[in-house]
Amino acid sequence: MSIVKVNLFGQLSVEYDGKVWHGPKENKARELFCYLMIHNTAKHNRESLACLLWEENSTAQSKKYLRQTLWQLGAMCKEHMGNVYGQLFLVNPGWVQVNHEIGIWVDVTIFEQAFSRLLEIHDLDESSARALDEAIRLYNDHLLVNLYRDWCIEERDRLCKQYLAMLDKLAEYCEANHDYRAGVEYSARALRYDPARERTHQQIMRMCYLAGDRTAAIRQFNRCVEALKKELNVDPTQNTLKLYEQIRADHFTQSPTSSHPNLDVTETYALVLNVLMQLKQLQNKLVDLQGEVQKQIQVVERAILRINKRS
């Protein structure tokens, strides 16, 4: 049995045995499928899952909707993928999780693993830069571009911040190793997702100049001014203006630390978001454990009542 590949960046697609399925057409079944695949390492409490997906309904009603949608989702998976691949999810009276006994590859998971490894590295070497480049290629577009639920928007923003931080690191690596053309390409990718990202404009200006293209560096400054005005209605910072004046006067020199700046707001935000998601996953596990403990307490209490009645 081959691995099931789930692609969540851009449009949802599921690849198996040389075939492609674009997931459930029904909105809630599709949303549930995507949520479980994004968080495919967790065991999800059914009540928490129901409240997340049907937050406008009562707890009892949302749990009913979840039961129905889980049944529909299981039937859809079997219809499109067969009985073996159809067992993608394990469903218990108290929880739901992805069945990893079936080989499952999820692009978001691989991407996040690469970002986690990046947090442990101060400077990239050739091997780690190559691995990071492979990871960013998975990000061919924003997460699930046609899904606009609040939880998905938060995930999309978090993953985009991680992507931008990874591109920063690769651009810095290229600049430090004088591969300015590749560095400009990485930075240009970042601007496609955040046109007003001033630090990235500075990177491109710097690398264009160092590559010997002073005109391109000045042109990039003009793009920076336009983007900041259009997106944020602000002017460039003093750092950008200073860099521009140095380039225009042909007096810019690369300092020993210029290719390894401190973390900016974007990277810091990505790091904090990553920690937040880990804490939320831990919180979900604690909720599951608390629910199980409560059930066992009720079982024991009922047993005590039966014993008291008999005596």
Instruction: Say yes or no to pLDDT of 126 above 50.
Output: yes
Q: What is the mean pLDDT of residues 112-125?
A: 90
Q: What is the mean pLDDT of residues 218-228?
A: 97
Which residue carries 């596990």 as its tokens? Answer: 285
Please check whether residues 184 and 240 belong to one and the same domain: yes
**pTM to 2 decimal places:** 0.81
Strand partners, 13: 7
> How many domains is the chain built from?
2
Please check whether residues 66 and 156 belong to one and the same domain: no
Please check whether residues 133 and 93 belong to one and the same domain: no
Q: Measured between alpha carbons, how far is 98 from 113 in angstroms, rounded to an integer?
A: 18
Token pair of 223 as six digits: 């793009």
Instruction: Say yes or no to pLDDT of 173 above 90.
Output: yes
Q: Measured between alpha carbons, how far is 23 from 25 in angstroms, rounded to an integer?
A: 6
Domain span including residue 249: 127-267
List, in sequence order, the alpha helices (H) in the chain: 27-38, 46-53, 59-86, 107-119, 126-136, 150-176, 180-193, 198-210, 214-231, 238-248, 265-310
Lowest-confidence range among 84-88, 189-193, 235-239, 259-263? Answer: 259-263
pLDDT band, residue 150 (cuts 50/70/90):
very high
Please check whether residues 81 and 213 belong to one and the same domain: no
Instruction: Say yes or no to pLDDT of 304 above 90.
Output: no
- The confidence score (pLDDT) of residue 257 equals 40
